[in-house]
Amino acid sequence: MPGPMTVKAPGKVVLWGEYAVLAGAPAAVMAVNRYAEVKLTPTTAYTLFSSQGFLTPSVYKADDQFCHAPAAQIAETVLAYLGHNRYPDRFSLCSDTTPFFAEDGRKLGIGSSAALCTATYVALCRWLDVTADVPQAIEVHRQLQGGKGSGLDVAAAWHGGVIRYEQLKGSAWAWPERLYWSVIWTGVSATTVSALGNFQTWRRQAAQDANSNEPRVLDDLKSLCLILFDAPSVENMGDYVACLRAFDTAARLNIFTPEHQRLAKIATTHGLVYKPCGAGGGDIGLVCGEDPQAVAAFTDAARAEQFVPLDLEIASHGVRAS
């Protein structure tokens, strides 16, 4: 088995396609320069799990039985997926997701679990001399989320940059230089798994209702995803946001929380478009426009309203081991 290694994977921001990707639409996802880090070191006397960022008690194991503790959950899920029902050897696995949390410990919502899962999966595959691939990484993360999720966050962590993601595949896509953007944290952490569960419940109920408008609102959202890939612009992004609002009203998912609505009003006063990212209901939002000064002014105004602009850049690469 190889010696000590460090694996890092970036977080993500969903540019468009949230929820629609679960109905077959392509989503645009930006990997950002906040990295989950995993350090794996072979040991002889014990197996150790510890973490920073996501705070949970460390675990020491002198035997090879799975412990099912929170600190070991991702690693044990990966090992089980790879065919192991106990630790194949002793090792130390130390994870760090500090960049994904605010100073007070609240989660920012930029894909910490997917980045950490991807980094852990790659580290254990390298340790066990198993070929890693993104569909497997996506499946492991889905298992951790109770079978929910499209996999776009894992794909972003895997590939880096900006990708077009659909049907478990991500391909590089260039964000247009004329569109300037900024990401804002609302100060409220959201639960992605809960939101996805609510969406699936709505879809099941809509399928049983002959008068449901689900096909229309989802079809509109899917069509606008395609339009944005063909012609990314502030105008088309505005149309997408309007459709996302209509979808939110129909599905009652509370994507546009009061915090997101306040940020949208600030954006409008600066001639910009604002949207919640991902499952919504809190976490982060994206503002974009063609005037960099207007984006900077929005950022200042949002900060004055006690929101938190995040200093993010597009991640130049995806998961990487050293």
The string of DSSP letters for 36-53 reads: EEEEEEE-SS-EEEEEES
Cα–Cα dist 70/56, whole Å: 7
Task: Express each pLDDT in 235-261 by its tens digit.
Answer: 999 999 999 999 998 888 889 999 999
CATH 3.30.230.10 segments of the chain? 5-174+316-321
Cα–Cα dist 42/251, whole Å: 49
CATH architecture of 5-174+316-321: 2-Layer Sandwich (3.30)
Cα–Cα dist 239/321, whole Å: 40
Asked if CATH classification 3.30.70.890 holds for the domain at 180-310, the reply, yes or no, is yes
Q: What percent of the chain has pLDDT over 70?
A: 97
Task: Express each pLDDT in 87-103 by its tens digit.
Answer: 999 999 999 999 999 98
pLDDT tops 90 at residue 200 = no
With helix as H, strand as E and coil as C, how does 215-243 read?
A: HHHHHHHHHHHHHHHHCCCHHHHHHHHHH
Encoding tokens for residue 98? Answer: 């500090």
At 191, is the secondary structure helix, strand, or coil? coil
pLDDT tops 90 at residue 43 = yes
* pTM of the full structure: 0.93
Strand 162-166 to strand 27-42: parallel, antiparallel, or no bridges (unpaired)?
A: antiparallel
pLDDT at 158: 98
CATH 3.30.70.890 segments of the chain? 180-310
pLDDT at 213: 53
At 20, is the secondary structure helix, strand, or coil? helix
Task: Express each pLDDT in 134-166 by its tens digit.
Answer: 999 999 999 998 888 889 999 999 999 999 999
Cα–Cα dist 204/206, whole Å: 5
| End-to-end Cα, the chain, rounded Å | 15
pLDDT at 218: 85
